[in-house]
A and B are shown apart, each in its own frame.
Chain A
Amino acid sequence: MSYCRIGRLGNSSITFYKPRHVFDINGGPQPSGFVFGRTADYKDIGTLKSCHTEFRLIPPVRLLIESRLAIVCIDFAICFHFYYTATMSTGRQYWELFLVFFKIGAFTFGGGYAMIPLIRKEVVEKKLWLNDDEFMDMLAIAQSMPGPIALNTALFVGNKRLGFKGSLFSGAGVILPSFTAILLIAVVFTRFKENMVVERIFRGIRPAVVALIAAPLLGLGKSAGINPKNIWIPVIVALSVWLLKISPVYVILVAVLMGTSHYLFVKKTLKK
């Protein structure tokens, strides 16, 4: 107990009192030399007869100097932040949820995986709505459920913070920017499509788009855990959808069935 802690907030503390350790070593009591954050020398502990601590209020000026001014300021800032969010009206919280995801929706290009770092920065680092572990768990779930990953993430965060109504706000936030942008483009583009200059530009862009779809396959394959044992799955899926024109709906259903029946089979053989 080097110094007294009053009002623990976050990881720092505000020191109001200066303790005065009084050691009774080999005869009369001797005040220890006070060192901030550290108690006196204990090398004579064997001969220590009694020890008690007196507290004396530090003058406000010394408090500010000794307890490191910056930490006090941070403490008051954190205190204010919690007070502000606790007293903030619920309407404002919904609005805040909407705005955060509106920002995420408006500033990520290419969608999906490009959005994840931005969502993490806003939700984990800035707003402290989720911690890192929760974020990773949420991401795993959002990716394994159908629908766009960005929307799933937004809905999850919204629901976790303010329930179903919260997820409506966060979902609307992430959808609206792309909706308005694409609607404008659709209105304009359908008029200019017959234009020869536009057509020439898109003749160059179209093969580039195919390359952009194909390029991340290697990296994605690695993170999906593809190995020589299960490489046949993506090959068969690609060929059956591409050449045999089998609907991806059936491919998904068959994949789920195969995974669960394999698990059932493994579980049965393990029991035997």
Chain B
Amino acid sequence: MGLTDLLFSLFLSFLKIGLFGFGGGYAMLPLIQREVVDLHGWISVSDFTDIVAISQTTPGPIAFNSATYIGYTAVTGMGFSQGYGVLGSAICTLAVSLPSLVIMTIVCAFFFRLKNNPWMQASLSVLKPAIIGLIASAALMLMNGYNFIDYKSWIIFGVVLLASLKKVDPILLIVLSGVAGLFLYPA
């Protein structure tokens, strides 16, 4: 695959992600995973989980973070230079934010008519529960053999789940589980 083909399909994929990424954040994960891991195979499943982890510990929305990261790794992974990698990540970030720009410009023009529009309320009444289902599927899809290698993984999962329900800071939890991984999995 040539460089322009690769950049073009990256652009299209992230345009799709931006256009159908309702609910933001975690609700976009199944969509990103499907496009990037299942359909095109630009990165592996464990790489994808690593991106989510990196997103949690760096500023900014997950959609941008994954677009920037995947843009870079997909291009350099195909054997192109780092400069093209930067270009790839710029294209992906632009593509994921382009639908928002168009839609929000329209929304701002018709804001007051949209606010109480019954059609919009009607579609949201089903869309909102569906988004919860999408987030749940993001968690279920990541519960696989790559991320859960043995019983120790499940212990970490349980502890972090409980701590997170008790409102412990997610960044702290990621740092602590990284330290736990260092001790639980000797070289």
Binding site for B on A (CB under 8 A): 105-113, 115, 137, 140-152, 155-156, 159-160, 164, 167-168, 171, 174-175, 177-179, 181-183, 185-187, 189-190, 196-197, 200-218, 220-221, 224-226, 230-231, 233-239, 241-242, 245, 247-249, 251-252, 255-256, 258-260, 262-263
Chain B residues within an 8 Å CB radius of A168: 101
Chain B residues within an 8 Å CB radius of A208: 53, 156-157, 160, 173-174, 177
Residue among A226, A247, A252 making CB contact with B22, cutoff 8 Å: A252
Chain B residues within an 8 Å CB radius of A145: 22, 100, 103-104, 107
Give the docked Cα–Cα distance between A37 and B103 (Å).
53
Closest to A250 in B: B20
Chain A residues within an 8 Å CB radius of B73: 186, 190
Give the docked Cα–Cα distance between A186 and B66 (Å).
10
Shortest beta-carbon distance from B23 to chain A in Å: 7
Residue among B18, B68, B138 making CB contact with A146, cutoff 8 Å: B18
11 other A-B residue contacts (CB within 8 Å) besides A204-B182, A212-B56: A141-B114, A144-B22, A146-B22, A179-B89, A202-B181, A205-B174, A211-B161, A212-B174, A213-B26, A233-B126, A238-B134
The answer to whether A200 touches B89, judged by C-beta atoms less than 8 angstroms apart, is: no
The answer to whether A196 touches B187, judged by C-beta atoms less than 8 angstroms apart, is: yes
Proximity bits, B89-133, A CB within 8 Å = 1, else 0: 110010011011101110110010011001111111111111111
The answer to whether B105 touches A164, judged by C-beta atoms less than 8 angstroms apart, is: yes
Chain A residues within an 8 Å CB radius of B86: 183
Q: Is the interface of A mostly helix, strand, loop or mixed?
A: helix
The answer to whether A203 touches B187, judged by C-beta atoms less than 8 angstroms apart, is: no
Chain A residues within an 8 Å CB radius of B114: 141
The answer to whether A149 touches B24, judged by C-beta atoms less than 8 angstroms apart, is: yes
Number of interface residues of B (CB under 8 A): 109
Give the docked Cα–Cα distance between A243 and B139 (Å).
13
Q: Which of A108, A225, A249 has the most CB of B within 10 A?
A: A249
The answer to whether A251 touches B134, judged by C-beta atoms less than 8 angstroms apart, is: yes
Shortest beta-carbon distance from A45 to chain B in Å: 49
The answer to whether B21 touches A178, judged by C-beta atoms less than 8 angstroms apart, is: no
Residue among A160, A202, A224 making CB contact with B128, cutoff 8 Å: A224
Closest to A147 in B: B100
How many inter-chain residue pairs (CB < 8 Å) link A and B? 368
Shortest beta-carbon distance from B64 to chain A in Å: 5
Chain A residues within an 8 Å CB radius of B20: 146, 248-249, 252
| In the complex with contacts A159-B105, A210-B143, A214-B139, A203-B181 CB distance below 8 A | yes
Give the docked Cα–Cα distance between A217 and B138 (Å).
11
Chain A residues within an 8 Å CB radius of B158: 211
Chain B residues within an 8 Å CB radius of A218: 165
The answer to whether A247 touches B60, judged by C-beta atoms less than 8 angstroms apart, is: no
B6 within 8 A of A: no
Residue among A159, A210, A217, A258 making CB contact with B104, cutoff 8 Å: A159
Chain B residues within an 8 Å CB radius of A155: 100-101, 104-105
B29 within 8 A of A: yes
The answer to whether A151 touches B135, judged by C-beta atoms less than 8 angstroms apart, is: no
Proximity bits, B165-187, A CB within 8 Å = 1, else 0: 10000110110011111101101
